[in-house]
Every structure is written in C-alpha cells, then in structure tokens.
C-alpha cells in the first residue's frame, strides 16, 4: 500500500497529468495496432473483412467457372468445388457480412452517432478485433492444412461433415472450421456486449432512444440478436468437435461409413440442424437489420426528407428481431422433422413479411415528395430497394411450407438468399462506404469510378441472380458439381449458366475498381469538409474530420431533436443538425 497524503482540503490532490492525456494513446502501436479507439478498431475490422471478401470473391469465380463451363478447368475437381462453395458461404455470411456490419460500421458509427467518446469497454473492444483476426487466420489456415478446408457446405450438416466421404471430414478441415467459428463467437461476444451496453448507457444528453438514427437502432438490435443467437452455434460447434475428435455421439446415430459400421449410436443429425438454424435464421437478420438502418439514413439524407414513419420503423425493426427467433425451422421443411412443425413455422415466417413490408413502404414513401439527389450512396440505396424487394418476395415462396417442397435444395434457394442477404446488404455496404468514407478519411471517393462500380455491380448482380430462380424452378439442384448430364435440363440451361458465369466474372472484376478507388482516394480524393452531405446526425457535427480519439474535443454534443429534420418548413437550411438548439425557445441547459 502506498500512502497517499491528503491535501489541505482533506482530499486526494489531483494527479500531475491531465486526465485526458492518460486516456489518449502515446505510441504508434497503441494508436494504430493495439488500439482501443473504436474508430481505429472499426477500420481494422473493415479492412480484414473486405480482405476476406476478396478471397470469397475469388472462390465464387472458381465455382462459377465450374458451373458455367463444367470440365474445362481440370484443377477444379469435385473435392475442390465443394471446398470452394463451403468456404465462400461461411466467409461471406459470418466473416464478411457480420464482421463488417457490426465490427466495422458498429464500431465506427455507434459512439459517433450517439454522441459518446468511445465504446464503454475499449479494452474488450480491442480484444474483440484480435480474436476476429485470429479466427480469420485459423479459417484461412485450413486451405494449407492436410486435406484442405472442409467441403461440407456452409451448413456443416453432420454426419456428412465429419465422415470420410466429405473433403476435410476426416482431416483438419472441419476441425479448423469449428475452432475458427468458436474463436469468432468469443470475439464477437466481447464486441457485441460493447455495442449493446454503449447504446444503452453512453448516449449523450438529449439523445433519447427515440431520437437515435435508425442506423444505431439497426446495429443495436442486430447485436442484441447476435448475442442470443451465436451461443446456439457455439454449442453446436463444441458438440460436433467432440463428435469428430473424442468419439462422442451428439449428432451421429448408428451409421455405416464406407461399408464399415461405426461405433456410434443414439445421436441426432436433426439436433444439429435445429441448433444451426436457431443461430442461422436470426443471422440473416443480424446482417439485414444494420443494412435496414443504414439504408434508411442514406435515403433520408440524400432525398433531403425525413424518414417516413420513424416510430413504425423502430417497432418494425424490433418486431423483425423478435420474430426471427421463432422461424428457424423454415430451413428444415423437408429435413424429416415432425411435419406438423410446418404449420407453425410457415405462419410465423409469413407474419415476418408484414413488418418487413412496412419498412419497404416507408423507404419508398420517403422518396415520395422528396428532393432526390442521385449521389453514389443514393444509387446504391435505390438498388438495395429493388434487390431486397425481389429477394424478400421470393422468400414468400420458400417460407410457405408446401411451396418450399419442390423448390428447396434447388438453385431457386441459391438465387433467393443471394439476392436478399448477399446482393442487397452488400449494396448497402457499398453505399455506406461511399457515404461515410469522407468522415473516416477526410476525402471524397471518386464519383466517376463510383458510378461505374454501381452500374456494373447492380445490373450485373440482377442478371446473375434473377434468371437463376428459373433454373431452380425447373428443378436444377444446388450444390451439384456438375449438372450437365441431368436428363430434364435442356442445353439452353447450360448456356444460361455460362452467361451467368461471364456476368459474375465481370461483376467480380469491377470490385477491383472499387478497391482501387478506396486506395487512390485516400491520397488523391477531393478534400471533404466535415459534413459533405449536409446531414443531421451527430457524426457529421464533430469539431474535426476525421474525428480524433475521444471524438468531441472538450465538450460532448447535446441533442435537441430527432435525426430527421430535413427540409423543415421555415428553416434557413434544408437540414437541422441534431445538436442545434431550437430557436426562440430556452435551451435545455437553462431549463434544467
């Protein structure tokens, strides 16, 4: 124990250094590598996730080459094909979309948008990123492990995932996949607790819940859901890891493997499917809700109009979040589960369409009587509406139990989920990067390159996935290494597959233009002022751009209004920032 002398007033005297200088990082390493600043962590998360996205993009090229031109590329054998689709799927869903929306946008935007200085647990926040990076490294390591990565499909259904008929099933592939997921979930839990507690506890004065921008609502709800959903995947991973390495029988009943009976009995393959989809369906909305929130703010800002029906939008988000926990078995209509579950899960699934439709109506009613600036972020937001509505509507086919029966496990499903949780959220990510890049870097992204990127990506993605539904309707199964010898598939369908592949390669290539734009504009982009889109939300009102550690300088902002005061009649400008005090009325300070 150190004796601290009491000062003259009978209290401990102030320290010799200022509080803030203890708080700020002092070395390059603590500033940029082991940083506890949410904004730096956000950039770390985003760069890592985008890099994984590029790997997943290359994997999608390889699988499309096989589907479009079967047998032409001899290095893509059946083993490799299944490894590519598995890694592409898992990378995109978990390591790209979840990480980018929550770890990337969540970290950057939550503290800034609610007027906080940082996340409430900066150290755990830092650990969250390093766990995520470790999970990515373990996952990528499986490419170099004996036997290669797992080829079990991203759903990892046992017993197939851990038996010898599947690539990586009896090698390292499946083990590394499960371990990587577990590390990811541990890392996410530290981040997710941060996002939720920060929103609940660290909002600045005046920022009531119902004044929060919808971006924060979306990320907050998704984080809350992820904290409830990921544990189901975690236990599933632990149990499968035990089945694979210790010989337990959680998911493996008495089976014969390649002619040899296994010493297993009593396990249930369906148990894993329930655990997986109890995570897997909320996961769809964990990706979608942040996209919903972000796109609401982009549309409102660039249409210079308040978001239509804000309160309804918040309640719809919460309703979707809650309902998404009672729809999981709609992925299992033909799984052999008790068929009476079908009535319940079809009903809950179609009910979700109602709050979702409300969101779509409110986006398009925000455009109605707006003042629409067709900026690059706005173009991506409009494209999101089209692809999301398309993908959402095909969900009504697959959710309606009996309609799902002929369509499940066909290319219709592949087309549906790519449109609704691949293309649509990624368009939002692009829009959001064009929107917030000036705040992160202080420079604008190049407009012409952005428009090129937009047109090729949007039209290309639609050309890839819209016709694909009809291949599935015809009965072409998904996860087929080679469909060319199926009797009922006409040669025109193979031509269509080749066309889809060519478009996919083009859309993939234009993403390199986007990457170039990100790097080039860092140095050469037009300098941005603090609020280039003339937006109301707090992140645009920081004293400095890019905002330094601590965000707000000496004083945190005080919030006087909701986030959507655009084109208020009688106002001098067509936007009123949230921290602008009302005129002709006493400010909050003098009242309290």
Near another protein by CB under 8 A: residue from 30, 170, 335, 506: 335
Nearer to another protein, 105 or 458 (CB): 458
- Total residues at interface with another protein (CB under 8 A): 114
Q: Which of residues 435-464 bind another protein (CB under 8 A)?
A: 458-459, 462
Smallest separation, CB 312 to another protein (Å): 6
**146 belongs to the binding site for another protein (CB under 8 A):** no
For residues 517 and 449, the answer to whether their CB atoms sit within 8 Å is yes
What tokens were used for 557?
Answer: 């902002």
Q: Which of residues 516-545 bind another protein (CB under 8 A)?
A: none
Near another protein by CB under 8 A: residue from 141, 235, 372, 452: 372
Q: Which of residues 79-108 bind another protein (CB under 8 A)?
A: 79, 82
**311 belongs to the binding site for another protein (CB under 8 A):** yes
For residues 416 and 394, the answer to whether their CB atoms sit within 8 Å is yes
Binding part of the chain for another protein, among 109-117, 230-238, 482-490, 525-533 by CB under 8 A, reads 482-490
Smallest separation, CB 5 to another protein (Å): 59
For residues 414 and 89, the answer to whether their CB atoms sit within 8 Å is no
Near another protein by CB under 8 A: residue from 41, 401, 419, 500: 401
DSSP secondary structure string for all residues of 154-171: TTT-TTGGGSTTSTTSSS
Q: Which of residues 2-41 bind another protein (CB under 8 A)?
A: none
**385 belongs to the binding site for another protein (CB under 8 A):** yes
Binding part of the chain for another protein, among 93-101, 213-221, 470-478, 521-529 by CB under 8 A, reads 470-478
Near another protein by CB under 8 A: residue from 185, 382, 507, 528: 382
**498 belongs to the binding site for another protein (CB under 8 A):** no
In total, the chain counts a number of residues equal to 592
DSSP classification of residue 209: G
Nearer to another protein, 269 or 321 (CB): 269
Smallest separation, CB 534 to another protein (Å): 12
Near another protein by CB under 8 A: residue from 134, 235, 318, 386: 386
**69 belongs to the binding site for another protein (CB under 8 A):** no
For residues 49 and 99, the answer to whether their CB atoms sit within 8 Å is yes
Backbone torsion region of residue 408, taken as left when φ is above 0, otherwise alpha when ψ lies between -120 and 50, otherwise beta: beta
Binding part of the chain for another protein, among 95-103, 355-363, 440-448, 578-586 by CB under 8 A, reads 355-363
Smallest separation, CB 90 to another protein (Å): 14
Nearer to another protein, 373 or 527 (CB): 373
Question: In whole angstroms, what is the distance from residue 129 CA to residue 131 CA?
Answer: 5
Residue 575 backbone dihedrals phi, psi, to 5 degrees = -150, 150
**400 belongs to the binding site for another protein (CB under 8 A):** yes
Near another protein by CB under 8 A: residue from 99, 139, 358, 559: 358
**471 belongs to the binding site for another protein (CB under 8 A):** yes
Smallest separation, CB 479 to another protein (Å): 5
Q: Could you identify the residue written with the tokens 């986006």?
A: 363
Smallest separation, CB 9 to another protein (Å): 52
**324 belongs to the binding site for another protein (CB under 8 A):** no
**170 belongs to the binding site for another protein (CB under 8 A):** no
CA nearest 49: which of 111, 129, 156? 129
Q: How far is CA 489 from the centre of its chain?
A: 35
Q: Which of residues 565-584 bind another protein (CB under 8 A)?
A: 566-569, 574
**109 belongs to the binding site for another protein (CB under 8 A):** no
Nearer to another protein, 278 or 412 (CB): 412
DSSP classification of residue 189: H
Backbone torsion region of residue 13, taken as left when φ is above 0, otherwise alpha when ψ lies between -120 and 50, otherwise beta: beta
Q: How many CA atoms, within 13 angstroms, populate the side-chain half-sphere of residue 328?
A: 21
Q: Which of residues 404-423 bind another protein (CB under 8 A)?
A: 405-406, 408-410
Backbone torsion region of residue 476, taken as left when φ is above 0, otherwise alpha when ψ lies between -120 and 50, otherwise beta: beta
Near another protein by CB under 8 A: residue from 347, 506, 534, 558: 347
Within 8 A by CB and 6+ apart from 239, the residues are: 248, 250, 251, 272, 275
Q: Which of residues 217-256 bind another protein (CB under 8 A)?
A: 253-256
Nearer to another protein, 235 or 350 (CB): 350
Near another protein by CB under 8 A: residue from 125, 163, 223, 441: 163
Binding part of the chain for another protein, among 120-128, 160-168, 225-233, 281-289 by CB under 8 A, reads 160-168
Question: In whole angstroms, what is the distance from residue 94 CA to residue 229 CA?
Answer: 13
Secondary structure (H, E, C), 352-365 = HHHHHHHHHHHHHH
Question: In whole angstroms, what is the distance from residue 196 CA to residue 253 CA?
Answer: 40
CA nearest 275: which of 247, 239, 244? 239
Smallest separation, CB 133 to another protein (Å): 30
What tokens were used for 249?
Answer: 């029988």
DSSP classification of residue 439: H
Nearer to another protein, 24 or 373 (CB): 373
Residue 257 backbone dihedrals phi, psi, to 5 degrees = -110, 115
CA nearest 439: which of 297, 566, 567, 307? 297
Near another protein by CB under 8 A: residue from 7, 13, 247, 339: 339
Near another protein by CB under 8 A: residue from 564, 578, 579, 580: 564
Near another protein by CB under 8 A: residue from 111, 187, 191, 267: 267
Question: In whole angstroms, what is the distance from residue 453 CA to residue 459 CA?
Answer: 10
What tokens were used for 489?
Answer: 């598939």
CA nearest 132: which of 90, 169, 83, 96? 96
What tokens were used for 387?
Answer: 């692809």
Nearer to another protein, 401 or 528 (CB): 401
What tokens were used for 161?
Answer: 């995932």
Nearer to another protein, 165 or 543 (CB): 165
**319 belongs to the binding site for another protein (CB under 8 A):** no
Smallest separation, CB 378 to another protein (Å): 9
Smallest separation, CB 29 to another protein (Å): 45
Taking residue 354's Cβ as centre, other Cβ atoms within 10 Å add up to 12
């Amino acid at each position: 124990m150190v004796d601290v002398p009491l000062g003259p007033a009978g209290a401990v005297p102030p320290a010799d250094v200022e509080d803030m200088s203890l708080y700020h990082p002092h070395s390059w390493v603590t500033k940029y590598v082991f940083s506890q600043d949410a904004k730096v962590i956000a950039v770390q998360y985003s760069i890592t996730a985008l890099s994984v996205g590029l790997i997943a993009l290359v994997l999608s090229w390889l699988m499309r080459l096989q589907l479009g031109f079967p047998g032409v590329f001899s290095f893509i054998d059946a083993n490799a094909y299944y490894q590519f689709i598995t890694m592409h799927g898992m990378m995109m869903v978990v390591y790209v979309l979840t990480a980018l929306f929550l770890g990337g946008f969540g970290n950057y935007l939550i503290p800034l948008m609610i007027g906080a200085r940082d996340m409430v647990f900066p150290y755990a926040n830092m650990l969250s990123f390093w766990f995520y990076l470790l999970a990515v490294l373990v996952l990528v390591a499986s490419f170099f492990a004996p036997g290669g990565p797992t080829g079990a499909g991203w759903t990892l259904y046992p017993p197939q995932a851990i038996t010898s008929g599947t690539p990586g099933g009896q090698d390292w592939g499946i083990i590394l996949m499960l371990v990587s997921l577990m590390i990811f979930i541990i890392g996410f839990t530290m981040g997710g607790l941060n996002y939720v507690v920060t929103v609940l506890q660290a909002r600045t004065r005046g920022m009531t819940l119902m004044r929060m921008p919808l971006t924060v609502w979306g990320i907050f709800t998704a984080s809350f859901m992820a904290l409830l959903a990921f544990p189901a995947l975690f236990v599933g991973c632990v149990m499968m890891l035990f089945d694979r390495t210790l010989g337990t029988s959680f998911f493996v009943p008495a089976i014969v493997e390649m002619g040899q009976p296994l010493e297993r009995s009593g396990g249930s393959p369906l148990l894993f499917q329930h655990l997986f989809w109890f995570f897997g369906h909320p996961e769809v909305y964990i990706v979608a809700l942040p996209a919903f929130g972000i796109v609401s703010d982009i549309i409102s800002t660039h249409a210079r109009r308040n978001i239509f029906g804000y309160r309804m939008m918040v309640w719809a988000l919460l309703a979707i979040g809650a309902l998404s926990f009672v729809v999981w078995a709609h992925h299992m209509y033909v799984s052999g589960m008790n068929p009476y579950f079908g009535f319940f899960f079809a009903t809950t699934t179609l009910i979700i369409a109602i709050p979702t439709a409300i969101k779509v109506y409110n986006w398009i009613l925000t455009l109605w009587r707006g003042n629409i600036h067709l900026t690059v972020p706005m173009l991506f937001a409009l494209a999101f509406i089209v692809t999301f509505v398309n993908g959402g509507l095909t969900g009504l086919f697959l959710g309606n139990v009996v309609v799902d029966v002929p369509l499940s496990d066909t290319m219709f499903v592949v087309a549906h989920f790519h449109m609704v949780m691949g293309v649509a959220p990624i368009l939002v990510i692009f829009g959001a990067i064009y929107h917030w890049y000036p705040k992160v870097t202080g420079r604008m992204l190049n407009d012409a390159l952005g428009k090129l990127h937009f047109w090729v990506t949007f039209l290309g993605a639609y050309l890839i996935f819209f016709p694909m539904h009809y291949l599935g309707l015809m009965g072409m199964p998904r996860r087929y290494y080679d469909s060319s010898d199926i009797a009922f598939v006409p040669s025109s369908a193979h031509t269509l597959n080749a066309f889809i592949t060519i478009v996919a390669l083009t859309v993939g290539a234009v993403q390199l233009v986007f990457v170039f734009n990100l790097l080039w504009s860092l140095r050469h982009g037009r300098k941005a002022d603090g609020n280039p889109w003339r937006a109301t939300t707090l992140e645009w009102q920081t004293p400095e751009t890019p905002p330094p550690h601590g965000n707000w300088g000496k004083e945190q902002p005080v919030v006087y209004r909701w986030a959507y005061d655009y084109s208020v009649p009688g106002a001098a400008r067509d936007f009123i920032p949230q921290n602008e005090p009302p005129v002709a009325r006493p400010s909050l300070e003098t009242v309290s």
